Chains A and B, each alone.
Chain A
Amino acid sequence: MAEFEELSACEATLEMLRKAKEEGQETAFDRVEQQKGCAFGEAGSCCRICNMGPCRINPKKPEESRGVCGATMDTIVARNFARMVCGGASAHSDHGRAVAETLILAAKGEAKDYEIKDRIKLLEVAADLGVEIGDREINDIALEVGERCLAMFGQQEGELAFAQRAPEPRKEIWRQLGVFPRGIDREVVELMHRTSIGVDQDYENILMACARTALADGWGGSMIGTELQDILFQTPVPLEAKINLGVLKEDEVNIIVHGHEPILSEMIVLAASLPEMQEKAKAVGAKGINLAGICCTANEVLTRHGIPVAGNVLQQELALLTGAVEAMVVDVQCVYQGIGQIASCLHTDIITTSPKAKMPYARHIEFHEDHALDIAKEIVSAAIENFPKRGKVRIPDVQESLIAGFNHEYINYMLGGRFRASYRPLNDGVIDGRIRGVVGVVGCNNPRVKHDDIHVRVVKELIANGCLVVMTGCAAQSVAKAGLMLPEVAREICPQGLWEICEAVGIPPVLHCGSCVDNSRILIACTAMVHEGGLGDDISELPVAGCAPEWMSEKAIAIGEYFVASGVYTVFGVKWPTMGSKNVTDFLFKKYGELFKNTWDFEPDPEKMVGKILSHIDSKREALGIMAKRERVLFDMAMRRELEI
């Protein structure tokens, strides 16, 4: 194992890694050393989609060899990239489908523990989907919204309804390029088909289909997930909470919710708060029940309930090593199989809940929406029963506060209150240069780079250069742990203009916008910036950018792809999966710029990454003619008459 300090920028993480070493426990940080990585895999040039292979093309001499079927380097790399897009889009979309199904059950009264918590959002979504509102019962509207959303998965032709929210020029680009997504499942299935043996062997054609599939995620599956979760569980509003392993409590039953879907975790939150459960906990000698989150489930319950975050995805094993976790309740995505191994040495139960996701060393308590609370109580009870079995506990005394819960709706509100809600102050801030640009920093953790470190350095550098940062996923948690998601830091780390904005509104310079499925919120926010006016007619004209400095999941590729196809310049770090093919990489890094008006990019070095982002933002500012300080225009009567009323 490398020097400890080189492994993570997070103190709590280092402390637990030392403990792991002392106790001979293995974590992802150790396994990454064992898995040196295969050169062909890294180049994206290993093809094993048929039984004639596996075929490997030497990245150093791509012209010299082909697959058994004759597939070139370009084709193989494009196909592998496409399958990452499919994997990622499937993950978000299957998540979205589950939410739609829950909404339908709730609307029908068949999932009694769920209800419509955000009626305003329901009506807004209904209006966007063309669902009649009139004086219909709220549950009728919800049912139709749920059914319409569910139908988007099986939709075979036409244009995806949520994608209609995009700015007109963007939709026109999609239409002209033939990538306007039809149905969510259709795009994934078709791309899987096209990348199977002997189908689509034109890398450009495959990469265009990638855009279509990814758009079906961003403006489809993911958006359905986010929008319907808001309807069922309330659109988040900013609140204060705590983060890092120090949120675990020595004298309480600690339950960690981990994974992605709030359908389950919402019920655990409810169950844990019930007096009967609290009593039960006290009966076994605990002072209460302490719920904490890991990964994106953490973000869901954080932004809606202020439930503390124990850590991000790379901390899941470390949280268990505290010995203080009675149960880690997991559903889907990013759940390391390694946690089962560690839990098997401890009193901790890993409780799997989804029929889609089981694992060794875990106890399976299957979750069903129709008696959700009962199951949640069973899970909480199981955790409580473990409390007396606890061994030695060591919880790092490390935690930080953060403000979380931003999203399109709240940004709109926070800039003008109920009566003047709008993006005007944000756009004005960008136009007059107080805000140089807005950057989405998203994604996972990856032990191939120093944990949290790249995120924190990128974000600090962006802020120091006047960018407002919006974050989701595990990336958001990295930065929150570093204390950057507190409003008072604005004064210390922002340049004057950005500080004035933060101070006027009362925000930190980094806005926590939720989980990875919530990246769709950023699409909506970008669209709102376009509609507010003064920053061009399309997302591609905005001085904005996206990046994922520590990404690891296929979902990140799907997200990046839908951002680029929506017109956002997007830079990824760590490693880039198409390096084996210059043509494929050039297509994504250059040709996409002609087609989608912005491109993918790759840069593992945080300073250079920020440099690329800033020069992109400045080029957009230049094009918009907002590089110079905005002149104060004084209005005479004739000019006032021209103003919109």
Chain B
Amino acid sequence: MSRIIAAAAIKGAHKEVAEAERMLAETKEAVGATAKVEFPNTGYYLPIIYALTGIPVQKLEDMDKVLEYAKDLLPPVPKQRHWVPYLGHALDAGVATLFAGEIIEGCKYATNPPVDDLWLGAADDVIMRERGVEFVDGTAPGFCALVGRASTPEMADRIVVELLEKNLYVWISGHVDGVSIAEQLQQVDRQLGWDTRIVPYGKEMSSAVYSLGFAARAAMSFGGAQPGDFKKVLRYNKNRIFAFVLALDYVDEQKYAYAAGAINYGFPTIANTPIPDILPTGVCTYEHVVGGVPEEEIVQKCVEVRGLKIQITEIPIPMAYGPAFEGEVIRKDDMYVQFGGNITPAFEYVRMREMDEVTDGKIEVVGPEIDDVEEGGALPLGIVVEVAGRKMQEDFESILERQIHHLINGAEGIWHMGQRDIVWTRISKKAQAKGFKIRHYGEIIHAKLLNDFPSIVDKVQVTIYTNLEDVEKWLAIARQAYRYRDEKTAGMTDESVDTFYSCTLCQSFAPTHVCIISPERLGLCGAYNWLDGKAAYEIDPTGPNQPVKKGDVEDPVKGVWPSINEFVKEKSGGNTQRVTMYSMMEDPMTSCGCFECIVAFLPMCNGVMIVNREHKGMTPCGMTFSTLANSVGGGQQTPGFIGIGKVYITSKKFISADGGFQRIVWMPKELKETLKEQLQKRCEEIGDPDFINKIADEDVGTTEEEILPWLEQVGHPALTMEPMLM
């Protein structure tokens, strides 16, 4: 009987709005009506309110009209008999609740931010973009808004692991009788945080607005929904972000009210308590509310109710497996055995073989197994993967090899970093206790390579060496291969190939954007270089990466090819007519929104600044990364601005038509530090080894006025170059 739910949700909404009103008044009293209100580092204000109403709340007093709006949305509680329809009312009450929740959490940020050792509060835009992309590209199908309390901490852990195995984010809010799931997880030593995808937002139910606010931002950031275009924001969520609410234990009026808010997004609620069902479909893809599902079955039920198909490769290992486990850290105390990390030699090497030289599924450990090692010990490690396939090419060796990092990391209780001969990996005590063996590394690699690259990989054989002698012998062979590959790619230039590759993977959210990837300009997300494009095309010939023949060149300096223009024009639906590969001032390449860095023209300095996604502060162009990202993304050509991958900064083709590398006048310290080696190398190449020290950073200033005198003082070359703006 959903009248019961509607009545409860509407009552809960009345209470929550009243609480928001009380809290707003109290907060105004404490810090003044004009006090600033903001969630940390976001361009989306209070995001649900901004997305659904277009109102940018910046000060406490801006909340007044939102509160009025919420009150206007509040319907009467359905009568006991002869009631009028309540579904529309309950949904409106849900939105009123979300507005109230954001007012409540906003007031907290205006006084005491709701963040401590356990609870994380609002996710900033950096996290939102980084993780939001996973919702867009399908890495994560959605999230589970997990509320309440599990029957036991162990059950909480079991449910969360099941969710993670399905690649879902787990976002935790609320509690029952003072006990929250986050606290239960702490009791069983489950690592919480963005790295493990288990995010404790807040103990109070109002913190659910962080989940739904994230979803609202994703719709604006990736879905191209304009603030206030509530229809698009919500439809985007219904059809792209497959999220749901999983409510454990007692569902009170307040929780019903927030659940009603979630239903507006198309996010259903599934509970283990016998709450009434709302089975007909329409607002959500399938059922709206399903109650009484035992905890043991609830994750499967959630997935089914939300209509989510999750393809999971069965990995024959005794631990859970999924990308969600990639962020897990294994501290030294929790470690059973480790390999590499300057403690022992370790490497990974993928090599292509002929079909008859590989026995598919053969996995061999040469040397000690895990049981031969004392707890806390270390072993040398050499993972040699031999791959054969009808369409396998030597160029793909490095691509497959790079996969090993996240393939291994996907196993629960296993930690991995680095690649080639700088790998470092640990097996936890927990994993060892569950029966995890070194040979399981091979099982993972075998299963995943076959599954993820079916068109180039037909056979995989893995040999794992754990004795020093063999490891050293094979390491020498591997190093030769690494060197050979490096030299081959170093020599690769845009001129040396006759084909570039396109990437339209992001057209699902930026429908007019087309990336053109060349050997010297990788994709702006940093994830796809030319070789990746080539391999991806082999793997899926009708996929988003297509070869683009260069043909005759129109302008070799700016990088204009008529055939590329033709391609871009067609794939952008006529939105982009011309594109230059090497200029940001004339017909620059568009951006989807996934760029690692943004390059922006600084007219006073006659140069450019580069800001990376992680940098939260102001920049000399007058905008933070977040604000810049909103105007640069979405497939629009914006002369003077481009989105790029980090590696492109030190490419010889970096805005080469506009003056190149020497135009860089500003970048954040952190970015400089990250790229230090490559930057230094590039400085030497251009014959100005000291150039790196002429690039200003946030310590010098965050406005053009502040950095210009400094640039003059250090004699930055851009100042004397010809004007960038013709």
Interface residues of A (CB under 8 A from B): 237-240, 401, 403, 410, 413-422, 424-429, 432, 434, 486-488, 500-501, 503-507, 632-637, 639-641, 643-645
Contact = CB atoms under 8 A, between A and B. Distances in A.
A640 B280 CA distance: 21
Given A414-B87, A419-B230, 9 more contacts: A417-B89, A417-B92, A418-B73, A418-B95, A419-B91, A503-B3, A506-B6, A635-B242, A641-B508
Contacts of A632: 286, 304, 307
Nearest to A497: B280
Interface string B220-236: 00010000001110111
A327 to B, nearest CB: 30
Contact of A420 (B91, B138, B141, B286): B91
A507 B86 CA distance: 8
Nearest to A239: B84
The 7 closest A-B pairs by CB, nearest first: A425-B282, A637-B138, A417-B91, A634-B309, A643-B239, A506-B86, A636-B309
Interface stretch (B75-83, B549-557, B686-694): B75-83
Contacts of A504: 2, 87, 278-280, 288
A416 B86 CA distance: 10
Interface string B84-128: 111111111011000000000000000000000000000000000
Contacts of A503: 1-3
B496 interface: no
Interface in B126-157: 137-138, 141
A501 B85 CA distance: 11
A645 B232 CA distance: 7
Nearest to A511: B85
A242 to B, nearest CB: 10
A486 B79 CA distance: 12
A417 B264 CA distance: 8
A365 B569 CA distance: 73
A643 to B, nearest CB: 4
Nearest to B232: A645
B52 interface: yes
Given A425-B283, A640-B239, A419 B304 contact: no
B308 interface: yes
B307 A635 contact: yes
Contacts of A238: 84-85
A416 B281 contact: no
Contacts of B2: 503-504, 506
B702 to A, nearest CB: 37
Given A487-B83, A506-B78, A421 B278 contact: no
Nearest to A427: B282
B281 A635 contact: no
B311 interface: yes
Contact of A488 (B82, B230, B278, B311): B82
A414 B78 CA distance: 13
Contacts of A639: 309
Interface of B: 1-3, 6, 52, 73, 78-79, 81-92, 94-95, 137-138, 141, 223, 230-232, 234-236, 239-240, 242, 264, 278-283, 285-286, 288, 303-304, 307-311, 508
B21 to A, nearest CB: 21
19 contacts: A238-B84, A414-B85, A415-B87, A416-B91, A417-B94, A417-B264, A418-B88, A418-B95, A419-B231, A425-B280, A425-B283, A426-B282, A503-B2, A506-B3, A632-B304, A633-B307, A634-B304, A635-B309, A643-B239
A632 B282 CA distance: 13
A171 B310 CA distance: 44
Contacts of B89: 417
B82 A240 contact: yes
A501 B283 contact: no
A486 B83 CA distance: 8
A425 B223 CA distance: 24
B282 A645 contact: no
A413 B281 CA distance: 15
B82 A403 contact: yes
Given A419-B234, A635-B242, A643-B239, A432 B86 contact: no
A506 B83 contact: yes
A284 B632 CA distance: 77
A116 to B, nearest CB: 20
Contacts of B95: 417-419
A531 B236 CA distance: 19
Contacts of A643: 239-240
Contact of B281 (A410, A414, A428): A428
A503 B231 CA distance: 25
A429 B282 contact: yes
A420 B81 CA distance: 26
Given A487-B82, A505-B85, A506-B83, A434 B280 contact: yes
B416 to A, nearest CB: 25
Nearest to A491: B1
Nearest to B138: A637
Contacts of A415: 87-88, 282-283
Contacts of B307: 632-635
A31 B233 CA distance: 63
Tell which of B6, B87, B232 has the most Cβ of chain A within 10 Å: B87
B709 to A, nearest CB: 48
A418 B261 CA distance: 12
A401 B281 CA distance: 29
A643 B2 CA distance: 28
Given A415-B87, A634-B308, A501 B234 contact: no
B636 to A, nearest CB: 18
A353 to B, nearest CB: 32
A470 to B, nearest CB: 14
A639 B307 CA distance: 11
**Most chain-A CB neighbours within 10 Å: which of B81, B82, B234, B310?**
B82
A240 B92 contact: no
A119 to B, nearest CB: 15
A462 to B, nearest CB: 19
A632 B283 CA distance: 16
A422 B238 CA distance: 14
A644 B82 contact: no
Nearest to B277: A500
Contacts of B230: 419
B264 A420 contact: yes
Contacts of A634: 303-304, 307-309
B240 to A, nearest CB: 6
Given A403-B82, A506-B6, A645-B232, A637 B141 contact: yes
Contact of B88 (A421, A434, A488): A421
Given A419-B52, A506-B86, A645 B92 contact: no
A636 to B, nearest CB: 4
Contacts of B78: 506
Nearest to A532: B282
Given A634-B309, A635-B308, A640-B240, A416 B282 contact: yes
A640 B83 contact: no
B455 to A, nearest CB: 16
B563 to A, nearest CB: 28
Nearest to A406: B85
B85 A507 contact: yes
Nearest to B52: A419
A434 B287 CA distance: 13
A645 B236 contact: yes
B264 A644 contact: no
Contacts of A641: 508
A497 to B, nearest CB: 8
A299 B122 CA distance: 52
Contacts of A427: 282
Nearest to A240: B82
B134 to A, nearest CB: 11
Contacts of A645: 223, 232, 235-236, 239-240
Contacts of B82: 240, 401, 403, 486-488
A415 B285 CA distance: 14
Chain B CB count within 10 A is highest, among A237, A414, A421, A429, for: A414
